[in-house]
Amino acid sequence: MLNIKDISKTYRLAGNYQIVHALSNVSFTAKPGEIIGIIGKNGSGKSTLLKIISGLVSPSEGEVKFNGKISSLLEIGGGIHPELSGRENYFLKGQMMGMSKNNLQEKYEALIDFTELHDFIDEPVKHYSNGMYMRLALGIGLTAKADIYLFDEVISVGDAGFQQKCFSIIQNLAKSGAIILMVSHNLNELEKYCNRFIWLEKGKIHQSSSDDAILNDYLDFQFQKNYQLDKSLNLIADDVSITGLKIFNGRGASIKIQNLDPINIEISLIKTNSSTIFSLSTVIQDFSGLPIFSIPTFTNSENEDSRHEKQLTLWTTIEGAFLNPGFYTISIYLYVNDDLHRFKNVLSFSIHQSENDALRMFAKGFVRNNFEWKVCRE
C-alpha cells in the first residue's frame, strides 16, 4: 500500500526569491496491482511527485507512507559509468541497489536476454548507442525486486519488440502485487499500460479515474484554445487553393460535437485554371498524427460533373457513432498536375462522449463498426 497524504512542495527561486508551488495538497492511495499513469503538462508537478515518493526530495508539507521497497527509474542511466562494461555496470549498480552478488549472478542471463546485448555486454558503455545504453539502464533497474516501481519517461525506449517485452514485464510485476507509477507524455503508452490515471494541473490533482476517458478529457483541456472548427486557409498547390475547412454536426453547429452526432466536413477550393484536374484526400488522424482513415474525393460520377468548376465546395459526412470520443486532427493530401501536396495537421477537433451512448463502456479504439456476433449451433 502507498499512501500519499497532503503533499506540498515549494521552491524559492534564486535571484528574485519568488516562491513556486510545485505541488499543493496532493493526496491519493495506491493499492497492490495498480498501474497508475500520471499525466499533466510540463511543470504540473509529475516528476516532483515521483522524486518525493522515492525519497530523493523532501516534501514541504505532508507525508508519504508505504510498505516494502521502492525501485525508482527517474533519471534513466543515472549511475551508469561510461568507462565500465555493461557487465561491470550491472554488478556494481546492482550491489548499490542492495542486491547480493549471488542474486545478481542468478539474474544475469535474464538481463542479457532482456537487453539484447549478448555481443556487447563486455564492451565499455561509452561505445554503446543511445538505444543500447537505455536498454541496459532499464534492465538493471528492473532487476531489483521491489514492491513499488516509479518510472519517469523511461518505458518508450527501444523498438517495438523491446517495448512489448517491457509491457509483459510490467504486467507481470502488477500481477505479482507490485504498485507501479508511470509518468509519460505518450498517452498511447499510458493507455496501454495503466488501469488508473491521475491528472496533475498546476501542482494539484485535477482529476483521477480508472476510466481511460480521462485521457480524452486531458487532451480536450490542453488543446481547447486551439479549436477552430470553421477555419480560413490559404493552402496553395499549383493551380488549386484550399481556402476553407469546416467541421459541424448534423444540426449545422460548429460547437461541441458528440460521438453519436453525424460529422460533416466541408472544404472550399478555388482553381485558377478551370481545366485543372485534381484529386483530394482528407486524412483523419489521432492526436499524435497517426492516420486512422481517409476520405478521397471524386470517387463517384456525381463529382465528375463539377471537376471543371473554378470555385468548389466539397463536403462529406462521417456517420454518427463511427468515431469514438477523443482528440483528432485532419491532414489534406492534394494531387494536382501529377504532383502530391501534403498539408499536415490543418485542423484539430474533439469528439465528446454522448450521455445517450449505451455502448460507451464497450467501444474502444478510435472507430466503431457494425460487426455482429452470432451463436453457432450444430
**pLDDT tens per residue, range 107-158:** 999 999 988 899 999 999 999 988 888 888 888 888 878 899 998 877 766 6
**CA-to-CA distance for 44 and 221, rounded, in angstroms?**
14
User: Where does a domain end: 224, 257, 286?
Assistant: 224
**CA-to-CA distance for 35 and 191, rounded, in angstroms?**
10
Residues 187 and 61 in one domain: yes
Q: Are 147 and 66 in contact (CB under 8 A)?
A: yes
Among 25-34, 89-98, 216-225, the least confident range: 216-225
Do the bridges between strand 257-258 and strand 263-271 make them parallel or antiparallel, or are there none, so unpaired? unpaired
| Domain limits for position 289 | 227-352
Residue 165 host element (H or E)? helix 160-175
Residues 211 and 343 in one domain: no
Residues 195 and 336 in one domain: no
Which pLDDT score is estimated for 23? 95
**CA-to-CA distance for 149 and 138, rounded, in angstroms?**
12
Residues 235 and 202 in one domain: no
**CA-to-CA distance for 98 and 101, rounded, in angstroms?**
10
pTM: 0.77
In a domain, 302, yes or no: yes
Q: Which of 2-11, 92-101, 252-261, 358-367 has the highest mean pLDDT?
A: 2-11
CA-to-CA dists, residue 249 to 50, 68, 119, 347, 365, angstroms: 42, 53, 58, 16, 21
More confident residue, 362 or 68: 68
Neighbouring C-alpha atoms within 13 Å toward the C-beta of 76: 22
Encode pLDDT of 257-297 as tens digits. 888 889 999 999 998 887 788 888 999 998 888 899 999 98
Task: Say how many domains are in the chain.
Answer: 2
Enter the DSSP assignment of 202: T
